[in-house]
Amino acid sequence: MWQQQSNTGALAGCRVVDLSRVLGGPFCTQILGDHGADVLKLEPPTGDETRQWGPPFEDGLASYFVGVNRNKTGMTIDLAQAPGQEFLKSLLVDADILIENFKPGTLEKWGIGYETLKELFPKLVHCRISGFGADGPLGGMPGYDACAQAMCGLMSVNGDAQGEATRVGLPVVDMVTGLNAALAILLAMQERSRSGLGQFLDITLFDCAISLLHPHAANFFGNGKVPGRSGNAHPNISPYETVETKKGPLFLAIGNDRQFQTLLKVLGAESLSGDPRFTTNQDRLKNRPALHALLVDLLSAHEATTISETLLKAGVPAAAVLNVQQILEHPHTQHRKMVLKQGKYRGLASPIKLSRTPATLRKLPPGFKEN
């Protein structure tokens, strides 16, 4: 079963048994697979449900599934039955990592929980992704990205000030959970190189969602005020927001007074440099509405894409608001090789750039029951 796919990646020779479905776990194991790990994706008899999360579909596979399941070998297994459990154990003899996102207690019910597997495979790094963990007031409850966004404060600070709390338009909690799982696995593997022992990694959507609350949690710890929604405006910095131009919205991300002075110079508004309302960031925060109105007027003669490049070259952080197609076709996206292409396959490349052992595309997402 184990056939090394690459000897060039940073994780070449690392063997991963992936029992996870949907997003957090598969996102994690795609990261590992991109960097050389041999990932065996074991799906239940009904398959990973995201295979049907479409349209769109690509050769019968939902694009959602395709996006997070490359560089894996696929099989199906029924872990609720004894033959499936024994087959899993046979795989774990040679495995380094097991990752799963079953409801806590499920593997224990089947006799293949961490405590059992630890005795059989003491070097195994066992990573579980769950909604809330196994214990505590919410222990064992099901967890989903949008619910985590709602419960953990992300929605409360996202959206227009006068509008309703809004979900972030991508599954940010699932993906950051996958990132944290990958980080935890690498930490555990590093520690294993010293101790010779594996360990259990308890990664939850709940914890990971809360970890994203900067700077809102820090501000609350500092002033005791419950943060609210401010649209695209930053709660601590000004101007750090979207401003309409003659053609398209422009995001300004002014982080210091020097950048603000340069902004005024580029826009031909040096006369405002001495205005006491805008001298420091604190002044600009106090007078944000007036500053915003002035910036709208100054930018009304410019197009977002053009002025953003001018500002960037001058050292002022600014960006036109692009859609998905525009950024995927952007020249710098191509230069950074952030779009993978192989035959009909298109996917987002790894953002982790290693000079000697780069990420590679070795295997396309597996078809259902391909082995």
User: Which of the four pLDDT bands, split at 50, 70 and 90, describes residue 369?
Assistant: confident
The span from the CA of 105 to the CA of 62, in Å, is: 30
User: Active-site residue among 174, 202, 207, 297?
Assistant: 174
Whether residue 1 is predicted with pLDDT greater than 60 in this model: the reply is no
Strand ranges in the chain using DSSP code E only, listed in sequence order: 15-18, 38-43, 57-58, 61-62, 72-76, 97-100, 125-130, 200-204, 240-244, 249-253, 318-320, 339-342, 345-348
- Is residue 354 in a domain? no
The span from the CA of 129 to the CA of 99, in Å, is: 8
- Is residue 230 in a domain? no
End-to-end CA distance of the chain: 10
pLDDT for the residue numbered 252: 97
38 is catalytic: no
Give yes or no: residues 113 and 56 share one domain: yes
Give yes or no: residues 192 and 274 share one domain: no
Task: Please return the burial class of 201, using the count of CB atoms within 10 Å of its CB with bins 0-12, 13-18 and 19+.
Answer: buried
Give yes or no: residues 164 and 290 share one domain: no
Give yes or no: residues 198 and 266 share one domain: no
122 C-beta neighbours (distance < 10 Å), count: 12
Give yes or no: residues 159 and 300 share one domain: no
Please name the amino acid found at residue 359: A
Q: pLDDT of 3-45, one tens digit each?
A: 555 567 999 999 999 999 999 999 999 999 999 999 999 999 9
Q: pLDDT of 326-346, one tens digit each?
A: 999 999 999 999 999 999 999
Give yes or no: residues 127 and 24 share one domain: yes
- Is residue 227 in a domain? no
Give yes or no: residues 275 and 151 share one domain: no
Range of the domain at 154: 15-212+343-348
pLDDT for the residue numbered 4: 53
pLDDT for the residue numbered 368: 84
- Is residue 192 in a domain? yes
Give the chain's domain count: 2
Give yes or no: residues 117 and 179 share one domain: yes
Q: pLDDT of 262-321, one tens digit each?
A: 999 999 999 999 999 999 999 999 999 999 999 999 999 999 999 999 999 999 999 999
- Is residue 3 in a domain? no
Task: Determine the 3-state secondary structure of 325 from DSSP.
Answer: helix
Q: pLDDT of 180-230, one tens digit each?
A: 999 999 999 999 999 999 999 999 999 999 999 999 999 999 999 999 998
pLDDT for the residue numbered 6: 54
Give yes or no: residues 81 and 189 share one domain: yes
Q: Name the nearest CA neighbour of 101 among 121, 129, 123.
A: 129
pLDDT for the residue numbered 8: 78
CATH number at 247 reads 3.30.1540.10
- Is residue 270 in a domain? yes
CATH number at 148 reads 3.40.50.10540
* Residue length of the chain: 371
pLDDT for the residue numbered 208: 98
Give yes or no: residues 147 and 200 share one domain: yes
Q: pLDDT of 162-174, one tens digit each?
A: 999 999 999 999 9
Structure token digits, residue 157? 């600070």
Q: Name the nearest CA neighbour of 365 among 11, 7, 58, 13.
A: 58
Cα angle for residues 211, 215, 219 (degrees, 5° grid): 115
Give yes or no: residues 195 and 262 share one domain: no
Give yes or no: residues 73 and 153 share one domain: yes
